[in-house]
Each structure stands twice: as structure tokens, then as C-alpha cells.
Amino acid sequence: MSRGISSRDANEAKLEALIETMYLAARADGEFTIEERAHFVSSVQSLTERRLEGDKLDRLLARFQSEYEKNGLKKRLVSLKTRLGDPRACKLGLSMAIRMLASDGKLQTSEREFILEMADSLGVDRDTAADLVKEIAG
């Protein structure tokens, strides 16, 4: 997939928001499987050109966890839309979340519901979200 936004032209807030889309997706079904974690780490390393790994990545994940526990999912999703800033980045974030969810080979009902909730929060049309699911997860 052509990401369209690289770490060179994405500001830090946008980059972190893209990473957080995957983080929130990974926890959507209450599990963070080995396959999901491997996909997450690989995606983050690719997106950041390996600038974010090890302790740096662990600190970022701890911050995401803290913000999630403090504010809840809805506020985190609203925050993502603000930080991503434009429709293209929002669609990219949603597609990255879908890839994260599909990385273990199946999409649970709760994960499909999460995709629609994220799409709504990011201002991505539900038909577009459904097309992304079909394209990415089959």
C-alpha cells in the first residue's frame, strides 16, 4: 500500500496519531495477539523509518495507554481526527487500523464495529470504510 505520508513530511503529531490508530485498533477486541503485535511493530518501524522502536516505542505505548484510560475511546478518536487534520490522512489512519485488525487473519464482530466507529469519528464515509475492509481483509 502506498502510504502517501512518510515520516519526512508528517509532523510528529500526525505521525503519532497514525500510530495511535493502530494502537486503538489492536485493543479493539480486548486482545493484542502475537500476530497483531508483530504487525504493529513492523508497521511502526516502517512508518518511522525505524526511528521509533525499543524503549521509545514502549514509552509511546505507555502514553497511549494512559491517555486511553484517562479519556476513553471516544475522546481518543476525536483527538485523532484533530491531529490527523485532513481527509486523506484520516482515510490513511483508518486503513492502517483495518490492516492492524486483519493481521491475525480474521475480523471479529467487535472489530468491525470498531472500524465503523473509527470511520464515523474520523469523518470517513461508511461505504468507503466498507470498501477498505473488503480491499484489505477480503
Residue 16 is part of which domain span? 12-137
Alpha helices (runs of H) in the chain, residue ranges in sequence order: 12-26, 34-47, 54-84, 87-102, 109-122, 126-137
Residue 40 lies in a domain: yes
Q: Whole-number mean pLDDT of the chain?
A: 87
Residue 39 lies in a domain: yes
The model carries a pTM of: 0.85
56 pLDDT exceeds 50?
yes
Residue 4 lies in a domain: no
Residue 120 lies in a domain: yes
How many independent structural domains does the chain possess?
Answer: 1
Q: What is the pLDDT of residues 77-126, one digit of tens each?
A: 999 999 998 999 999 999 999 999 998 888 888 899 999 999 999 999 99
Residue 50 lies in a domain: yes
Residue 6 lies in a domain: no
Q: What is the pLDDT of residues 91-102, one digit of tens each?
A: 999 999 999 999
Residue 3 lies in a domain: no
* Distances in whole angstroms, Cα of residue 137 to Cα of each of 9, 32, 70, 94, 100: 28, 18, 32, 13, 10
Residue 7 lies in a domain: no
